Chains A and B, each alone.
Chain A
Amino acid sequence: MATVIVVTSGKGGVGKTTTSASFAAGLALSGAKTAVIDFDVGLRNLDLIMGCERRVVFDLINVIQGEAKLRQALIRDKRVENLYTLAASQTRDKDALTREGIGAVLEELAEEFEYVVCDSPAGIEKGALLALYYADHAVVVTNPEISSVRDSDRILGVLASRSRRAEQGDTPVKEHLLLTRYDPARVSTGEMLKVGDVEEILAIPLLGVIPESEVVLRCSNLGQPVILEEKSNAAQAYRDAVARFLGQEVEMKFLEQERKGLLRRWFRGAA
């Protein structure tokens, strides 16, 4: 049986798709066959972030409606072995997404795949509800910013009441907090919520803290998951988060402002 992970947040623009791409790539790099599915029907973007937009022939809705085989719609990643993308439909109506249809797709994926990462749209409408319905794990992507934290709290309420696990009285969906766009310099001057504050308010285990990074925009320009960057704090933080998800103990990095920068600036000034 495949493990289903929903990447969700309630609020838009906090890094769900960036996280879905990197998380799925990280799981695939660990050797597990992984599929990442875009649930944002009408506003698909995962294909761009994965860099496979020109290879989309069939999408999730085509598969649900029986117009294409799952095998035809899965796009094999050119960089990472074991990694496949399933795009959302850009033109079709959201109503084509059904609970039964998604259930059937996930069941078929489970025959081959170890992990299925569901990239949720923003909001708490149909697409978001279906993305989280079958989840075993939820990665709640949150920015250290007041409206994002509130929306994350709301989505945690939805997970606890409207997921399949909740409806069937199963063990609850396992929740993980992933704090993104964290800026230790601004935290140290008191301009930004501390990781501890967000943890305390949302009261779910912390999976990782991704520092604010220029690399994220660069990777989105290039169509490449952030985690594949060699020398980047954000990439390292994603690798650590995936390792923690897989049960390893890794200490949290990049929570403090880097002092090296200042020293380097001094030396550069002296030279």
Chain B
Amino acid sequence: MSITSFFRSRRKDKQSAETARDRLQIVLAHERMSVNGDDFLPRLQREIMAVVVRYVDIDPSQAVVKLEKDGDLSTLEIEVTLPKADSLGVQRVAS
């Protein structure tokens, strides 16, 4: 083993414990939330859809609610597919 490969292998190893720590933090953040918050996402999705449907004529099954957690940052993503513009009174007023 050459001196450079010795140092390179040390550097790679150094990353592996850090990688373990980071992966653990992310997976545990997810698991703790699903254990304690026992799946509030379906309820959240239903309630948001109920509000959206009051204004826009959409198909509630076309909505996706996602919660992603990456380290300290959580992102709540709500994706609603809107129908074509001519059926959208609201959007015309806004534009």
Contact = CB atoms under 8 A, between A and B. Distances in A.
Contacts of A249: none
A243 interface: no
Nearest to A154: B31
Contacts of B31: 150, 153-154
B16 interface: yes
A201 interface: yes
Interface stretch (A17-25, A188-196, A227-235): A188-196
B54 interface: no
Interface in B4-26: 10, 13-18, 20-21, 23-25
A201 B17 contact: no
A222 interface: no
Given A189-B10, A194-B17, A157 B35 contact: yes
A192 B15 CA distance: 10
Interface string A176-207: 00000000000101111110010001000000
Contacts of B13: 189-191
B24 A149 contact: yes
Nearest to B9: A189
Interface of A: 145-146, 149-150, 153-154, 157, 187, 189-194, 197, 201
